[in-house]
Chain A
Amino acid sequence: MWSRHNGDVRRGFDLILTNPPMGRAGKGSSSNKELLIKEPHILAQYVIAQNEWVYKMSKKKLKELAKRLGASVNPEKVADKLGREWLTPEDYANYKYKVILKDSELGWEYPIYYDGNLQPILLSNELPIQVILLEQFLRVVTLGGKVFTVIDVGVLNNPGDEWIRRLLFTAEHTPVKAKLMAVIELPHGAFYYTEAGTKTALLFYERTSKVLEDYEFFVALAEYIGYDTHSKKAEPIKENDLPLIIAEYFNWIGRRPEFYEKCKEEWRKERTCSWWIKEFEVIE
């Protein structure tokens, strides 16, 4: 649709800057079911619903898989046999049809697996929108394109979500791969004024063709963000760590180091950086 307005978009966006619906749907009647994607035909289009991390498998499932692969019942041994830490419908060999979804301009190919009744084969039957979107963003940016998104911190630190982080940033067999650039954690209540009580972060990553074994990325912890995070009114306050964090990021990537020194000096005294806010907020 975008490409009707601008043909260049066919090759993907250079940058996605977004604040998608965040939060997770828990169990129980009061949970936010609208934050979950359950539709199998949608889920089937995403690697994240078609991969299972061997370290997260139930004992029973691991035992069955190990038996089939002729490996001992140990995630590491199973991963060695598979050649990756991930199990896909391909490894089950129980699919009847495989459709390849290909976008040569964006440069990826996605397999979708179906059973004999043309029902998609999935390894996750439901996933939060915010998790699906992390992958979706990668599919619509160019190679080297950047994604800057708000995310529920739980996706970044919950033990149960480790497989999501691993699949996005370390798996080598997926059609779209990502390199992490920066994580900026926001204080509790950053979106309190919109009734969202979850702790959030800004995640900055780029689409890459190869997963690097190791690399540096920027991390920051903002305690103040220029408005009162304890009140739904979100009244402006002077204290703001974001200008310094931006200046530190610029300094790290070697751009405008003079900003950093100047900003740090004012931040130490005032816990803000007024001139930098003025400079930064000019949108040309």
Chain B
Amino acid sequence: MVSLRINNEVKNFDAPPDMPLLWVLRDILGLTGTKFGCGIAQCGACTVHLDGAPVRSCLLPVGSIGQRAITTIEGVGATGVGAKVQKAWLDLEVVQCGYCQSGQIMSATALLNATPHPEDSDIDAAMAGNICRCGTYVRIRAAIKHAAEA
């Protein structure tokens, strides 16, 4: 039996300790907002927060998490910065197909929590791990700056 704190709720379930959090979220808990893109932490679609820090859940074994707080895309909007990021994403119409955007928003929110007024180089460093095949990068950058000012 594994017990995890996810979006301020305790979830109990059965899973092998080496099972990545991504699949627990999606297949066991039905939280499908976190996406599978590559399985090797190259694309960022699976990004969640662990005690506020961005992590790639596709390579995060549930046995290693302990009591640390997990936030997913389903819960990040309940935070001030998360809500600002989501609003900026819609204000600037960042989204095209949207599949990568859960990960983008999680990475962007973590960035703004750590660096409230990021420079372009901060944005580059924080967001380079999130691939967008539709090419929404121009608007992602603008939306991060927009959220920072909100």
Q: Do A and B come from one complex?
A: no
The chain B residues found within 8 Å of chain A, CB to CB, are: none
The chain A residues found within 8 Å of chain B, CB to CB, are: none
